[in-house]
Structure 1
Amino acid sequence: MIVYEGKLKGKDYQYRRLDEAIRTGLFIRNACLRYWEDGHAKNRNDLYKHCTILGKNKEFPWAGKLNSQARQAMSERTWAAISRFFDNCKNQIKGKKGYPRYKKNRPNHGSVEYKTSGWKLSENRDSITFTDGFKAGTFKLYGTRDLNYYQLSQIKRVRVVRRADGYYVQFCIDHDRTEDRGPTGNTVGLDVGLNHFYTDSNGQTVDNPRFLRKSEKQLKRLQKRVSKKFKKGQPQSNNYKKAKQKLAKKHLKVSRQRKDFAIKAALCVVQSNDLVAYEDLQVRNMVKNHHLAKSISDAAWSEFRRWLEYFGKVFGVATIAVKPHYTSQNCSNCGCVVKKALSTRTHKCKCGFVLDRDWNAAINILKEALRTVGHTGTFLRILDKRFGTTRPLLY
């Protein structure tokens, strides 16, 4: 399944009708959640039936305007949240288990999802028409993807997404993406960090872009404008809404910059190697350190890992997550444990081996990954070539 995205261009009254569709979708989701909390829903089919009843209920005439399959999609979201909560409880996940919550209608967020009805593409597929009861009409599509390569039957879902800078449509296409790539003969271990975005087992580093830190001054100024125009206990002015919109657009730009950098870095790593090893970090637990939480979130390690695994599947490259325990403490030359504080950036072992801390950790990560897949001899030949050492291929 691949997702193509394009921006919707229309008139103001069309956007208002999309807002009504999104608000109705949230109503359907919240109603399904309440129906489950009251003990009436035991499975997903019960929520489907409740959606049908809501569409015919004269007390909520706007619910029937939303396409029937779109109402089913919202009930599926509700059941997915419920199932996730039960799975977390069953697996005894530490901390909060993710109890399903009611969703609010926020101006710069929200989406509604159609399946195979409620929308229609033009013949040249440069515009889309929404045909449900809200009658949003025809929108022009702007994007870099060409939908003419795929059959209409391959488009399984169409999702309308509301963001700070406009409205977007996402096409979920039933297609398995695979890319042919010749073997490179290279393997690499990656150690992510805050000083550098990552350091690989070859000693190469990629600088941390720090998009949030660089935009912090502008964000503070925009936030100050929003705070000044806010009137407690009174209807908010149009100037307040405009200032809030500018702040939301700036946050959206930062998140897009972070995502774009993670995608390009992951693609470069995967295309250059036949095996990629990285740490299996629990970022959710690491951000509990309030001294480093902002820097860790700005580095987007989880986003980078997510795209590493995706491109590994696309290009047929092995991606291995290694447990991070003692990767920074163990000596990559002799295996001895050299305890060091986080501020110590140089690894010095009693065997005389001196190396940058992150480089040493990257080598340990690659070593552990190759041991996992059974290529210890390959790893030792890499070490011999890199440091000019002579040692047996197998211990």
Structure 2
Amino acid sequence: MFVYEFKCLGTTRQYQAVDEAIRTSQFIRNKCLRYWMDNRMVNGYDLNKYTARLAKEFPFADQLNSTARQASAERCWSGITRFFENCKNKIAGKKGFPRFKKHQRSVEYNKSGWSLSEDKKFITFTDKNKIGKLKFVGTRDLHFYQKTEIQRVRLIKRADGYYCQFVISSNLATEEDQPTGKCIGIDMGLAHFYTDSNGEKAENPRHLRKSEKRLKYLQCRVYKKVKGSKNKKKAINQLGRKHLKVSRQRKDFAVKLARCVMKSNDFVAYEDLKIKNMVKNHSLAKSISDVSWGIFKEWLQYYALKFGKVVVAVSPHYTSQECSNCGAIVKKTLSVRTHICKCGCILDRDENAAINILMKALKLMGYITNTVGHTEINAWGEKTLYLDLETVLKQGRSMNQESHRL
């Protein structure tokens, strides 16, 4: 499944109707959560039936389409099941007990309650909320997909307007891409966004740091305005728009960089960082959140499927401490940026880690095995090469290939 998103244009009355639909969806979700907390042995099917009772009890809930009410119940049940899974798997720390929503920003419809125009540039919502007909703004084209392939439709409120998302169930269209015969390992960092096993570095854009002065100014304006006034709402909206711009800058950078990496290489290895645990370091939490590693990893996996490439996540343990030349452990603190080993290997700390990440991934996938005196590489098909590890690395990890796919 993948998502297409369009900005929606409508009247002030229509926007108010969308806001009312979102509030109703939030109300139903919270009611379902309370029903689950007050009654034992309640499952997802019981919550779906409970939404029909809510529609009879509250007239404003009946104005929302029945599938939208059920989608709110499903959203509540997904949070409950995630909580039980975390308890079952004994996840460290908080298990994510579901909470009541205070500021929900979206409403979701399933198969009914909406219809597309023939040119698929307008969408009409047909429930009693009277949202009516909204116009799409965007370059995406829905003509390639049938209505049966659209599983869900979401209306989302953001600081700069209202958006409509289409969740489409369809096979991802792959692009034919010429093989490059290259493989790299990626070490992610804060000084640079990443360093690869060839020594190339991608600069960290630091979008939040660059916008911090403006954000502080806008935050001060919010504090100075009178609570409940129109100027207060305007100041909040301006602050929200600025945060939205920063988040879009992060995503745009990560998406373009991930595409470039996957187009340039046939095999990419990266370290599987536990970002949730890393942000517990309060000295580095802001910088870690700003660098957007998680978005980058998601789009690496997406483009690997799209281009028919291979991407592998490996454990980051000891990749910075281990020597990529001889395998010895050279302990170093975060302030030490150069790897110096007794074997004579002197490398940038991050480049050394990137090489270790690549070698770990090749071993994990079975493309490389260590034997006495040499390294056996099976990465490119049936032909087996016997090369010294140092020779392989100096050649830029470009190995002879008999097959152009991994």
TM-score interval, smaller chain:
over 0.9
2:146 is equivalent to residue 151 of structure 1: yes
Q: Deviations over 1:131-175 (max 9, x none)?
A: 101111111100110011111111111110111111000011111
1:335 match: 327
Aligned residue type for 1:117? S
Q: 1:387 aligns with which of 391, 394, 399?
A: 394
Aligned residue type for 2:70? Q
Point out where structure 1 has 5 or more consecutive residues left out of the alignment: 390-395
1:1-395 pair list within 5 angstroms:
1-39=1-39, 42-57=42-57, 60-104=58-102, 106=103, 110-179=105-174, 180-231=176-227, 236-376=228-368, 377-378=376-377, 383-387=390-394
Q: Deviations over 1:223-259 (max 9, x none)?
A: 111111144xxxx211111011000000000001001
CA contact (8 A) 1:279 1:324 kept: yes
In 2: Cα distance, 1:313 partner to 1:126 partner: 29
In 2: Cα distance, 1:40 partner to 1:337 partner: 54
In 2: Cα distance, 1:313 partner to 1:270 partner: 10
CA contact (8 A) 1:178 1:315 kept: no
Secondary structure at 1:149's aligned position in 2? coil
Give how far 1:194 is off.
0.3
In 1: Cα distance, 2:127 partner to 2:366 partner: 56
Q: How many pairs align?
A: 381
Worse-superposed segment, 173-182 or 254-263 = 173-182
CA 1:230–1:347: 2 relative to 1, 3 Å: farther
RMSD of the TM alignment (CA)? Answer: 1.6
CA 1:44–1:335: 2 relative to 1, 3 Å: same
Secondary structure at 1:3's aligned position in 2? strand
Secondary structure at 1:190's aligned position in 2? strand
In 2: Cα distance, 1:334 partner to 1:386 partner: 13
Aligned residue type for 1:185? G
CA contact (8 A) 1:88 1:97 kept: yes
Give how far 1:383 is off.
3.9
Aligned residue type for 1:343? S
Secondary structure at 1:148's aligned position in 2? coil
Worse-superposed segment, 174-183 or 28-37 = 174-183
Aligned residue type for 1:138? K
| Percentage identity across paired residues of the two chains | 59
In 1: Cα distance, 2:268 partner to 2:395 partner: 23
In 2: Cα distance, 1:85 partner to 1:138 partner: 38
Give how far 1:387 is off.
3.1
In 2: Cα distance, 1:40 partner to 1:99 partner: 16
In 2: Cα distance, 1:132 partner to 1:338 partner: 66
Q: Deviations over 1:351-373 (max 9, x none)?
A: 11101000000000000000111
Q: Deviations over 1:192-250 (max 9, x none)?
A: 0001000011111100000000000100110111111144xxxx211111011000000
Worse-superposed segment, 326-335 or 379-388 = 379-388
CA 1:264–1:388: 2 relative to 1, 3 Å: closer
Secondary structure at 2:7's aligned position in 1? strand
In 2: Cα distance, 1:280 partner to 1:345 partner: 21
Aligned residue type for 2:118? E
Q: Deviations over 1:312-348 (max 9, x none)?
A: 2222222111111110011101111111110111111
Aligned residue type for 2:331? K
Point out where structure 2 has 5 or more consecutive residues left out of the alignment: 369-375, 380-386, 397-406
Aligned residue type for 2:354? A
For normalisation by structure 2, the TM-score amounts to: 0.91
Q: Deviations over 1:33-70 (max 9, x none)?
A: 0110011552111011101111122xx11000000011
CA contact (8 A) 1:191 1:365 kept: yes
In 1: Cα distance, 2:94 partner to 2:254 partner: 28
- Structure 1 runs of 4+ off > 2 angstroms? 180-183, 313-316, 377-383, 385-389
CA contact (8 A) 1:41 1:47 kept: no
